[in-house]
Amino acid sequence: MTLPLLRVGLVGYGFAGRTFHAPVLSAVPGLQLAAVASSQPAQVQADWPGVPVESDAQALLRRSDIDLVVIAAPNAQHHPLARDALKSGKHVVVDKPFTLDAAQAHDLAALAAQHQRVLSVYQNRRYDADFLTLRDLLASGQLGRPVYFESHFDRFRPEVRDRWREQAVPGAGLWGDLGSHLLDQALQLFGKPDTLQVDLAALRDAAVVEDYFHAVLRYETGPHAPLRVVLHATALAAHAAPRYLVHGTRGSYVKQGVDPQEDALRAGLRPGGADWGVDPVTGDLRVLAVGDWMKDSRVPNWPGNYGDYYAAVRDAIRGTGPNPVPPEQAVELMALLDLGRRSAEEGRVLPTP
């Protein structure tokens, strides 16, 4: 039986909407980009000929032919736009970070439950090739019990750019941006930590919001204890640290480089084909083989696919699968992002709620 298409309305056609949402969701069977709300109609039409362009979000929300609304507007608009979309009876995907704080996240979760709509957050980095590989490696037990995990997202962007993400406006800064990804991945691997300590700084010349963070998650109880997790990102790393570093009781794993999907999407490529999401940079694995003899090997990566997120959202709306990032996970993440900012302001380790 052929199931009907789910028609998607995209709010925002800046970097996130144009790069991470429109091409990815359009490559998923069962989803159709039906309308875009944007102040750049010429750009939308150039990329997606024939797709209607609405001048503002409210006009898109009033359309009766939209099943799912994807919100890729600036972060401060996530909460009000998602509220309006849910109230209009639409299912909703919100780009990360979900909201500005946990209170807004709680509000949206309650509203989605009230209206019985699917509400999800676009955590595409769960579908990175190297993260899928790491998750499988940890589950295999080859490293023994992990005792130290380090996750970096280092870039070299020494010039402060004229864009809202780097201005002193609500929702700007690296902690909410890349911190949302790294913290979400840590929660997926190890669950909620017992304590959190975060250092934030604006290190570049003329920077007005943080372009650096260093977070330490401590696990003192539970199945992974004792464990230390370090999450780090900076805009001033001409020589990037390894993407992942794991030490366990039986060995270590090091992965350089980043998943190739973002660069491919930035270059205008569309998802699909046998080579999509293939990361050729294999990880280094050193494990205890016999006695104290260490065996070195290379770990090929699982293929990544951001489209798997939207396929899961499609199935959740149809009632044939779970929500890939349900509201309760998004609320928990926002609470930890709030706690991390408070830790940086107070300069101390804080227990998680």
Count Cβ atoms below 10 Å from residue 346 Cβ, excluding itself. Answer: 9
Which residue positions in the chain have pLDDT lower than 70?
Answer: 1-2, 290
Is residue 88 a part of any domain in this protein?
A: yes
**Same domain, residue pair 268 and 161:** yes
**Integer angstrom CA distances of residue 217 from 41, 97, 126, 192, 202:** 44, 19, 19, 9, 22
User: Can you give the pLDDT at residue 141?
Assistant: 95
Torsion on CA atoms 118, 124, 129, 135, rounded to nearest 10:
-60
**Same domain, residue pair 175 and 253:** yes
Is residue 137 a part of any domain in this protein?
A: yes
**Same domain, residue pair 266 and 345:** yes
Q: For the whole prediction, is pTM greater than 0.85?
A: yes
User: Can you give the pLDDT at residue 255?
Assistant: 97
User: Can you give the pLDDT at residue 9?
Assistant: 98
**Same domain, residue pair 132 and 106:** no
User: Can you give the pLDDT at residue 302?
Assistant: 95
User: Can you give the pLDDT at residue 62?
Assistant: 96
User: Can you give the pLDDT at residue 353?
Assistant: 87
Q: Is 161 helix (H, G, I), strand (E, B) or coil?
A: coil
CA distance 155 to 266: 15
- Residue 271: name the closest of 303, 310, 306 by CA: 306
- Residue 250: name the closest of 219, 291, 222 by CA: 291
**Same domain, residue pair 288 and 220:** yes
Pair 249, 170: CB distance under 8 Å: no
User: Can you give the pLDDT at residue 1?
Assistant: 60
User: Can you give the pLDDT at residue 300?
Assistant: 94
Is residue 53 a part of any domain in this protein?
A: yes
**Same domain, residue pair 67 and 143:** no
pLDDT in tens, 125-136: 999 999 999 999
**Same domain, residue pair 81 and 159:** no
**Same domain, residue pair 347 and 296:** yes
Domain count, the chain: 2
CATH of residue 56: 3.40.50.720
Buried-exposed string 319-338: b where 16+ CB fall within 10 A, e elsewhere: eeeebbbbbebbbbbbbbbb
**Same domain, residue pair 106 and 60:** yes
CA distance 9 to 65: 9
DSSP 8-state assignment for residue 97: S
pLDDT in tens, 28-42: 999 999 999 999 999
User: Can you give the pLDDT at residue 171?
Assistant: 92
Residue 15, domain extent: 6-124+308-324
Is residue 331 a part of any domain in this protein?
A: no
**Same domain, residue pair 131 and 239:** yes
Is residue 330 a part of any domain in this protein?
A: no
User: Can you give the pLDDT at residue 164?
Assistant: 85
**Same domain, residue pair 87 and 233:** no
In this structure, which amino acid lies at residue 70?
Answer: V
**Same domain, residue pair 81 and 144:** no
